[in-house]
Amino acid sequence: MAGWRDSASQDVQDDLDGLLNKTLPFAEQMLRESGEFYPFAASVALDGHVSMIMAGTEDEEVPSIAGSMVSVLVAGLQSQKDSLRATAVVANMRFNNSDAARVDLEHRGGHVLVVLLPYKKKRFGRSIEFGQLAANAGAPKIWT
Query: Per-residue confidence of the chain (144 residues) as pLDDT tens digits?
Result: 457 888 889 999 999 999 999 999 999 999 988 888 889 999 999 999 999 998 765 554 544 556 688 999 999 999 999 999 999 999 999 888 889 999 999 999 999 999 999 998 887 766 888 999 999 999 999 998
pLDDT value at residue 6: 83
pLDDT value at residue 1: 46
Give this prediction's pTM: 0.89
Domain, as residue range, for 45: 2-137
Whole-angstrom Cα Rg for the chain: 15
pLDDT value at residue 35: 83
Longest dimension (CA), the chain: 47
Instruction: Count CB neighbours of 108 within 10 A.
Output: 18
Classify residue 121: in a domain, yes or no: yes
How many domains does the chain fold into?
Answer: 1
Q: Strand, coil or helix: what is 21? A: helix
Start-to-end CA span in the chain (Å): 22
pLDDT value at residue 5: 82
Judge contact between 37 and 93, C-beta under 8 A: no
Classify residue 144: in a domain, yes or no: no
Classify residue 142: in a domain, yes or no: no
Classify residue 143: in a domain, yes or no: no
Distance CA 115, CA 136 (A): 7
